[in-house]
Chains A and B, each alone.
Chain A
Amino acid sequence: MSGQAPHPAPILAVEGLRVRFGGGTQAVRGISLAVNRGETHCLVGESGCGKSVSALAVMNLLARGATRSADRLAFDGTDLLPLSERQMARLRGDKMAMIFQEPMTSLNPAYTVGSQMAEVRQRHRGGTRAAALDRAAELLAKVGITAPGLRLAQYPHQLSGGLRQRVMIAMALMCDPQLLIADEPTTALDVTVQAQILRLLLDLQRELGLAILLITHDLGIVARMAHRVSVMYAGRVVEHATAAELFAAPTHPYTHGLLDCVPVPGRTRRDVPLGSIPGTVPRITAGFTGCAFRERCAHAMPVCAGEVPLRERVPGHAYECFLPADWPQRSAA
């Protein structure tokens, strides 16, 4: 996963992305991230941290009442910011595709799987319906569906949750996308099916050189899937690093606390309570300054109410906190 040559240019580059909701809530507060070609970038955080909103903002799919702004938003060298809604629509589902948590709500119940898949292909690439259906059958086989011909003629409600998610993935691949944005793609599925779907995504990435922006709350998925990780808290990326770095040396107190919360079979002891983070996420409105985590942080200091520095632990591993990079070792001693 590491040791590859440095990537020339990321397929998706986001700088200073902000999203504001109608009520004055600042959902995303100036985040930057880069998704490299052929890599999986995980955006991890708890509910309400702004991870899904960030993805929707990139795709320009925010609900009415939400406004986005960014210093830079580039996909494959194209600046997305000045694009019209129609130009964005041409890009979505073509060069950049998205899959969601609940496949049932993103599939149209009134059309067969085949006709929905063919429609995507024809809308973006033209061609005959027969050719599009051939392509659909080929992709269904690729995502591990036996008897693709039969499934093409079925309606979404005739499929199980796992099959639907496979169909969604196949549909996202109809136009050979370069970037796949997956928003909690396995949260609604059983654990065994989750493992199958994630394995499929890894296989497809290897085979097609796909870049994946994977949004999840599950640190287990992050550890197993990600090349790079951005940890989000209250609309900010508070730490980003390679997956290996992040799990070996979590440095932001929030990341640290989050990892302590997860029970690991064979590692956490039953008679010892799990680590936990007290309190709840604050609502961030205009005028909020300082570190949003300070009220829940055991290491908070008076300076935390001011501008928080972005520190580098090692090249490629940065965190937004006043604490020195070696604080976990110091406090353990």
Chain B
Amino acid sequence: MRRFASLRMASAGLGALIVLVVLIAAIFAPLLVPHDPFAQDLNARMVPPVWMTGGGPDHLLGTDQLGRDYLSRLIYGARISMLIGVATVITSGLIGITLGVLGGFFGGRVDDVVMFLITARLSIPLILVALAVVGLVGSSLTVVVMTLGLLLWDRFAVVARTTTMQVRTLDYIAAAWAAGCSRSYILLREVIPNIVHHLVVVATLEMALAILLEAALSFLGLGVPPPLPSWGLMISEAKDYMYFSPWVIMVPGVALFVLVLGINLLGDGLRDMLGATRDA
């Protein structure tokens, strides 16, 4: 049993490490890149990575079809992914948690409205609407973040609502009412701290989902506009060359997989750690 627990701790640590590395890459991208990620060099197109024949130490991960350094583009792409992930989670979290907590706490009419909004949101086909909006308004980073943020709040709302409902009936909330606390104090100091650990897990899931959705939108050409080096866009641009130069699709693909895996591992670990103080 203890071995099992330490395995979980190790996987959470691995997740944290992955997220940290990507985060550092995103923040310090200009200092880390060996080349300008936008600089084209038509003499050095499709250079393979260093471990393949024909590769060299100058371009560790090779170059793309326009001769841009692939490692530099990957590092700048981490910026886009993390930015999209964090900004979407903040937007959708604010919307979803507010709605969910209000519905769960007040019940009655308020809850009916919240439930209706959640149901309405769940009946919107996510990808189609995202495609339509980006298609109509045009693609930019802001549009992608706003679209995803306005669409991905449902899970926050559902989890916040049910956990608030559970906490609301507990005796310490009754004791706080009897102590003469105001409604907003009870909501902010007694209810929300006791549902946060559930919301952290949702936040990691949503962040991973937002990163994947951005990649999907960029792959379809409706996400981040070129020449910004989004990982989804890199996969999209690479798909024509994958038969002869498979690394061009593997490098961003593996990066995306590892990042999403890392976020999910971290979320699981956080849930275990934050949830542990609840039970004696």
Contact = CB atoms under 8 A, between A and B. Distances in A.
Interface in A60-89: 64-65
A93 B124 CA distance: 52
A22 interface: yes
B218 to A, nearest CB: 46
Contacts of B1: 22, 64-65
B1 to A, nearest CB: 4
Contacts, number: 4
B209 to A, nearest CB: 33
B2 interface: yes
Nearest to A66: B1
A64 B1 CA distance: 8
Interface residues of B, number: 2
Interface string B1-15: 110000000000000
Nearest to A63: B1
Interface in B23-37: none
Interface string A1-32: 00000000000000000000010000000000
Nearest to A21: B1
Contacts of A22: 1-2
Nearest to A64: B1
Nearest to A22: B1
B156 to A, nearest CB: 30
Contacts of B2: 22
Interface string B165-179: 000000000000000
A39 B1 CA distance: 39
Contacts of A65: 1
Nearest to B2: A22
Nearest to B1: A65
A128 B104 CA distance: 50
Interface string B129-154: 00000000000000000000000000
A65 B2 CA distance: 9
Interface string A214-229: 0000000000000000
A22 B2 CA distance: 8
A102 B1 CA distance: 27
A22 B1 CA distance: 8
Contacts of A64: 1
A63 to B, nearest CB: 9
Interface in A32-66: 64-65
A177 to B, nearest CB: 32
A280 to B, nearest CB: 13
B2 to A, nearest CB: 6
A174 B2 CA distance: 40
A65 B1 CA distance: 6
A64 B5 CA distance: 14
A55 to B, nearest CB: 22
A10 to B, nearest CB: 34
A281 to B, nearest CB: 14
A64 B2 CA distance: 11
A284 to B, nearest CB: 18
A312 B216 CA distance: 80
B122 to A, nearest CB: 27
B34 to A, nearest CB: 51
A2 B118 CA distance: 68
Nearest to A65: B1
A21 to B, nearest CB: 10
A65 B5 CA distance: 12
B161 to A, nearest CB: 24
Interface in B64-87: none
B228 to A, nearest CB: 52
Interface in A244-298: none
A17 B19 CA distance: 50
A24 to B, nearest CB: 11
Interface of A: 22, 64-65
4 contacts: A22-B1, A22-B2, A64-B1, A65-B1
Interface of B: 1-2
Closest 4 A-B residue pairs measured CB to CB?
Answer: A65-B1, A22-B1, A22-B2, A64-B1
